[in-house]
Amino acid sequence: MAGHGDCTIDAPRLKSAWKALKPTFGHLTPEDVTRDLCRSYAQQRRNKNGDQIGNGTIRRELSALRAALRWQMPNTPAVFDLPSPPRPRDRYLTRDEYRRLLDGAVEFHTKLFIRLALATGARKAAVLDLKWGAVDFKKRLINLGVVEGGKPRAIVPITDGLMEWLQTAYRARQTDYVIEWDGQPVKAVRRSFATAAKNAGLGNVTPHVLRHTAAVWMAEGGRSMDEIAQYLGHTETQTTIRVYARYSPDYLRKAARLLDVEQCSGGTHEPPDPNAP
């Protein structure tokens, strides 16, 4: 693991970042890394294959390279220019929007992906990687496995609604993978998911919104941050608190009551009439 400042990187993260960085930076020396080159790299990544790669991804890639160079050479001559960090993502689905998204999906595998992603709160990669051996129908549990590098993902219950869909998919299975189409594992759902969102009339909705939605719904339902952290597979509960505590119905209520002067003093002062002379 290497780290510098606000960027800590482990081997899997660096490996993933280097896959994108290597074509541009692999043949260079630290002296060749300039602000202009970083800006050029960012523009190329944004335009690659029309995939709409965002500033957050590009920033993580360049941050990984910067941290690795500074770990190896604290006084490296490399000069970096990173895109501005993206604004926090607040987009999540209402229950009506979720139903519309399901109705907008065309293929069975897309509908199953949507149901799985919400019911497990898992990231897109975890859902697409899921195999039938990790689905325990008897115990009604799904083991989401481990990420590259050995970090375990969560083990979550199978909801009643999801159970019926999984049983249907299991009977019709042609591969070891839960999400399959035409006898092949599904590697990406970007296009079919975008079609579902378009059909539903929903904007700014990506597969990751389903994970965010799952956490928000649990927080709005009063579940503890510890429980939500376990469901999402967060190693640190502080991460869950920072992002989702504000959705809890009790968020800061006790603190706010201490600032209610009338309640604290036992007074019953009525507010003045704004139309009074």
**Helix or strand or coil: residue 150?**
coil
Is residue 5 over pLDDT 50?
no
**Span 136-155, average pLDDT:** 89
Cα separation of 31 and 240, whole Å?
A: 40
Is residue 8 over pLDDT 60?
no
Is residue 273 over pLDDT 80?
no
Q: Which pLDDT band, with edges at 50, 70 and 90, does 79 fall under?
A: very high
Cα separation of 277 and 275, whole Å?
A: 6
Cα separation of 192 and 198, whole Å?
A: 10
Give the per-residue pLDDT at 47: 80
Q: Which pLDDT band, with edges at 50, 70 and 90, does 116 fall under?
A: very high
How far is the CA of 188 from the CAs of 5, 100, 106, 127, 224, in angstroms? 34, 21, 15, 10, 33
- Domain 95-247 sits in CATH at 1.10.443.10
> pLDDT tens, 17-29?
899 999 999 999 9
Is residue 2 over pLDDT 50?
no
Is residue 139 over pLDDT 80?
yes
Is residue 13 over pLDDT 70?
no
pTM score: 0.69
Q: Which pLDDT band, with edges at 50, 70 and 90, does 104 fall under?
A: very high
DSSP string, 186-227: ----HHHHHHHHHHHT--S--HHHHHHHHHHHHHHTT--HHH
* Residue 179: closest CA among 263, 277, 105, 268: 105
**What tokens appear for 181 in the block?**
């189409």
Angle at 141 between CA 95 and CA 240, to 5 degrees: 55
| 19 vs 148, higher pLDDT | 19
**Do strands 141-143 and 155-157 pair parallel, antiparallel, or not at all (unpaired)?**
antiparallel
Cα separation of 258 and 73, whole Å?
A: 52
Beta bridge partners of 152: 146
Q: Where are the domains of the chain?
A: 2-72, 95-247
Q: Which of 5-14, 44-53, 202-211, 245-254 has the lowest mean pLDDT?
A: 5-14
Give the per-residue pLDDT at 266: 61
Q: Is 221 exposed, middle or buried (0-12, 13-18, 19+ CB in 10 A)?
A: exposed
Is residue 41 over pLDDT 60?
yes
Beta bridge partners of 155: 143
Q: Is 223 exposed, middle or buried (0-12, 13-18, 19+ CB in 10 A)?
A: middle
Cα(first)–Cα(last) distance of the chain, in Å?
Answer: 70
Give the per-residue pLDDT at 190: 92
Amino acid identity, position 225: M
Give the per-residue pLDDT at 29: 95
* Residue 157: closest CA among 179, 177, 136, 178: 136
- pLDDT-above-90 percentage for the chain: 73
> pLDDT tens, 168-207?
999 999 999 999 999 999 999 999 999 999 999 998 899 9
Q: Which pLDDT band, with edges at 50, 70 and 90, does 12 fall under?
A: low
**Span 30-49, average pLDDT:** 90
DSSP letter, residue 234:
-
> pLDDT tens, 247-267?
999 999 999 988 987 666 565
Give the per-residue pLDDT at 7: 42
**Do strands 184-185 and 180-181 pair parallel, antiparallel, or not at all (unpaired)?**
antiparallel
